[in-house]
Each structure stands twice: as structure tokens, then as C-alpha cells.
């Protein structure tokens, strides 16, 4: 299944996600989560189930909530990132070409591949939920290289999956859909908003834990990679212990994917703020 997905252009990505390690009530370390064969197998089965569920609802003539990740908004920056490694990507977004580049980077430098992955993820943008009416051309998921995709495998913890399960149950039983298209459209927008809010809470908790871990290391210097750059500010993630913070001094000219040395200038545990200055 994995070979088939990646042959179609599904992206090979391996980002670092750190969790706090406690010694009693104190944070003793931040450790990056790692993949293993079990997690990869679950992922392959989940993606297959979601794609088949979407196909089933389409075949039954039901409108359904799709998970959409359009073509990258910052493809030009992804092209520029590839050029820094001596590789050339086409001017127009191309998932298969991007996947070939990612696989090449993973084989060439597996230790630093998570940094490349993170840069690409930031420039891909975020997904959203939208309604797919029956008979339309399905909107795609650029990262997974599938044309029709829904969320259905976690109805116990994610509301879009519960909606999909209700639609699927009605379709299999030959009953009318439990939601009309207008209601589904409202629910899809609601789910996108709530997912964004939940992600903000998760980031806040991780940032507060990281700020607590680093509060005794003010003044230290770190190697980092730029993970975000906009009018709102510039953010970096430290290499080694994966901690993300804002560059409050010396951020001019930095863009996503750049390597930079930074110095820790302050932390705020309550706000989850970690501030760096370009070293």
C-alpha cells in the first residue's frame, strides 16, 4: 500500500514532534516522537479506509465531507528550497516531482531530513473540510496524492469522522442521508474552525512545556531552522531538542527553510513564549 501511494506522488515527510518527559513534577527533557512499523502500518490502513469510504459515498450518490489540501500556496519557495540542494523542481506544482526530491533528501541526509520535511509542511499550507456533492470532480489532497479523501477512522475523537460514519451507515442501509448539503456545508466549516482552534491549544501546551524546560538556559546559543516568516513575525525551531520560538531581533531577510544560529533571550511559561535573537 505504501509503495502504491508513493508511486502516485504521496509525499514522504518526517517532522519532529516533541513531548515532555517528567521527573516527578519537573520537566527533565523534551524528546522527539519517532515512527515505527506499527505506526506506519496503521497510517497505511487508515488512508486506504478513508479513500474507500469516500469512493463508497460517491458511488451511493451521497454528498460527503472531503478533506482537502490544495496545491501549495508557496510552491515557488519549495522550488527555491530544492535549488539549495542542487535539485530542480518544475515551475508548476507537481506532487510526484516533490516526492522524488524528498526521497532523495532522506536517503542523502536522514539526520537532517526532518528539517526539510518541516519546511515543506509549512509551505504546503493547512487542509480544510469541504462538501463534495455527488457527481462532481473530487477535490484532491496534494500531500496524499488522492483525488477523493475523507476522514472516517476516528469517530470517537474527531467530529468529521462521526459525520462520515453516519453518512456511511445510512448509505449502506439504503436510507436517506442524515444531513442535506446545506447542513453538511455548515458542519464542514465548523469542523475546520474547531480543528484550527484545537491545534492552537495543542501548540500552546507544547510551547508552555518548552518554555518551562528552557527557562534556566537564557543566553545559550542554538542552531535552528526557520519554520515561519510573515508580517506577524518569524519563527524558528532549534535543531537537536525540537523547540519552536519567535525571532524578536535580527529576523530581517529570513525565510522558511533558512538555517540560522539564535540566542535564547527570554521565556514566558504562562504565555508559552520563547524568544530568540539572531546570533
What pLDDT digit, counting tens, does each position of 75-109 carry? 999 999 999 899 999 999 998 899 999 999 999 98
pLDDT band at 151 (very low <50, low <70, confident <90, very high): very high
Q: What span, in angstroms and rounded, lies between the C-alpha atoms of 10 and 146?
A: 8
The set of cell numbers assigned to 180 is: 442535506
Looking at the structure, tell me whether residues 219 and 164 fall in a common domain. no
Looking at the structure, tell me whether residues 150 and 223 fall in a common domain. no
Looking at the structure, tell me whether residues 70 and 164 fall in a common domain. yes
129 to 58, 62, 75, 191, 257: CA distances (angstroms): 16, 16, 22, 7, 28
Q: Determine the pLDDT at residue 212.
A: 92
How many Cα atoms sit within 13 Å of 189 on the Cβ side?
5
Global pTM?
0.77
Looking at the structure, tell me whether residues 246 and 130 fall in a common domain. no
Last residue of a domain, one of 206, 238, 265: 206
Contact yes or no for 51/134 (Cβ under 8 A):
no
Give 247's strand partners: 276
Residue linked to cell 534556566: 216
Looking at the structure, tell me whether residues 270 and 153 fall in a common domain. no
The set of cell numbers assigned to 163 is: 459525520
Looking at the structure, tell me whether residues 65 and 150 fall in a common domain. yes
Looking at the structure, tell me whether residues 192 and 260 fall in a common domain. no
Evaluate if residue 119 carries a pLDDT over 90. no
Last residue of a domain, one of 184, 206, 228: 206
Looking at the structure, tell me whether residues 174 and 109 fall in a common domain. yes
Q: Total structural domains in the chain?
A: 2
**Mapping DSSP to helix (H, G, I), strand (E, B) and coil, where does residue 200 land?**
helix
List, for residues 221-249, the tens digit of each pLDDT value.
999 988 888 888 999 989 878 888 999 99
Domain limits at 20?
2-206
pLDDT band at 138 (very low <50, low <70, confident <90, very high): low
Residue linked to cell 514522504: 12
Contact yes or no for 274/259 (Cβ under 8 A):
no
Looking at the structure, tell me whether residues 184 and 239 fall in a common domain. no
Looking at the structure, tell me whether residues 199 and 251 fall in a common domain. no
Looking at the structure, tell me whether residues 180 and 222 fall in a common domain. no
Last residue of a domain, one of 147, 177, 206: 206
What is the crossing angle of helices 159-173 and 37-59, to 10°? 50
Looking at the structure, tell me whether residues 167 and 259 fall in a common domain. no
Other residues' Cβ atoms within 10 Å of the Cβ of residue 259: 14
CATH number reported for the structural domain that contains residue 245 in this entry: 2.40.50.140
Amino acid at each position: 500500500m505504501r509503495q502504491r501511494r508513493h508511486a502516485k506522488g504521496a509525499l514522504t515527510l518526517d517532522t519532529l514532534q516533541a513531548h515532555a518527559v517528567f521527573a516527578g513534577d519537573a520537566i527533565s527533557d523534551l524528546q522527539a516522537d519517532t515512527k515505527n512499523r506499527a505506526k506506519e502500518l496503521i497510517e497505511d490502513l487508515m488512508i486506504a479506509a478513508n479513500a474507500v469510504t469516500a469512493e463508497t459515498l460517491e458511488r451511493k450518490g451521497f454528498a460527503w465531507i472531503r478533506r482537502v489540501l490544495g496545491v501549495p500556496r508557496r510552491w515557488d519557495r519549495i522550488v527555491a528550497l530544492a535549488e539549495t540542494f542542487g535539485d530542480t523542481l518544475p515551475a508548476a506544482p507537481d506532487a510526484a516531482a516533490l516526492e522524488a526530491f524528498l526521497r532523495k533528501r532522506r536517503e542523502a541526509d536522514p539526520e537532517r531530513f526532518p528539517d526539510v520535511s518541516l519546511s515543506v509542511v509549512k509551505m504546503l499550507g493547512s487542509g480544510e473540510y469541504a462538501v463534495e456533492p455527488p457527481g462532481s470532480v473530487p477535490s484532491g489532497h496534494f500531500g496524499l496524492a488522492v483525488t477523493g479523501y475523507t476522514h472516517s477512522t476516528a469517530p470517537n475523537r474527531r467530529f468529521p469522522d462521526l459525520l462520515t460514519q453516519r453518512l456511511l451507515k445510512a448509505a449502506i442501509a439504503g436510507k436517506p442521508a442524515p444531513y442535506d448539503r446545506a447542513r453538511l456545508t455548515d458542519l464542514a466549516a465548523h469542523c475546520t474552525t474547531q480543528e484550527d482552534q484545537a491545534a492552537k491549544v495543542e501548540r500552546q501546551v507544547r510551547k508552555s512545556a518548552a518554555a518551562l524546560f528552557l527557562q534556566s538556559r537564557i543566553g545559550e546559543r542554538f542552531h535552528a531552522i526557520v519554520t515561519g516568516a510573515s508580517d506577524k513575525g518569524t519563527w524558528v525551531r532549534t535543531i537537536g531538542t525540537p523547540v519552536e520560538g519567535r525571532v524578536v531581533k535580527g529576523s530581517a531577510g529570513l525565510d522558511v527553510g533558512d538555517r540560522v544560529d539564535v540566542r535564547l533571550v527570554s521565556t514566558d511559561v504562562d504565555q508559552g513564549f520563547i524568544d530568540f535573537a539572531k546570533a
